[in-house]
Amino acid sequence: MNPGIRHRRSRTHRIVRAGWVLAAAAAVQGCRAAAKPASPDAESVVNALYQDHFAQEQNWSATYRRQRALFAPELAALLDADDRAAAANADEVVGLDFDPLTDAQEMMTRFQVAPIAHEGDEATVGVLLLLDTARTNVRLDLTRSGARWRVTNIRYAHGDLASLLRRLAADRPRDP
């Protein structure tokens, strides 16, 4: 066999092999990019929150404990303070006396989530809540922090959660 031909074959073989290695690396990289889940949009976050809440019999305290990471730090701090005040006064109603996600004391029968507004890192998502034929609407304000959407406030026909929690905190007696 001619040594020149052998040298060309091995060189060609190395080039082809290098091409396959590069193609395989690109395919693996593409699979990694495809496998990386996209961060959920604000509507998906709210829908997941309400699905969890309804699946667990709309127990606000339990839902909040499970889903606390979905609430912005400022709102979570207000909710935590309200929870501590309620726990310190177990014999009376102190703080929230309704489910903040449903704006009700009763268990709702269904919910529907719909986007209302979205601009950059801010979004408002509407939730229609049904109790048999009665309807209630709430709006959740969300802010994106990195790849995560977090609830910053919940708005009702009669006001909003953050303002209510601040007012309740201001009305509590201060310890001397």
In tens, the pLDDT along 116-158 reads 899 999 999 999 999 989 999 999 999 999 999 999 999 999 9
- On whether the CB atoms of residues 96 and 83 are closer than 8 A, the answer is no
Q: Contact at 8 Å (CB) between 146 and 163? A: no
**Domain coordinates in residue numbering, the chain:** 1-36, 42-171
Q: According to the model, what pLDDT value does residue 64 have?
A: 96
With a cut of 50, say whether residue 28 has pLDDT above it. no
CATH fold of 42-171 reads Nuclear Transport Factor 2; Chain: A, (3.10.450)
- CA-based angle 53:57:61, to the nearest 5? 65
Q: What average pLDDT does range 93-102 have in this prediction?
A: 88
Predicted confidence at residue 11, as pLDDT, reads: 53
Give the model's pLDDT for residue 175: 54
Residue 24 has pLDDT above 70, yes or no: no
Task: Give the C-alpha separation, 93 to 84, whole Å.
Answer: 12
pTM of the predicted model as reported, rounded to 2 decimal places:
0.75
Residue type, 15: I
Q: How is residue 45 written in tokens?
A: 């976050």
Q: Which has the minimum average pLDDT: 52-56, 120-124, 167-171?
A: 167-171
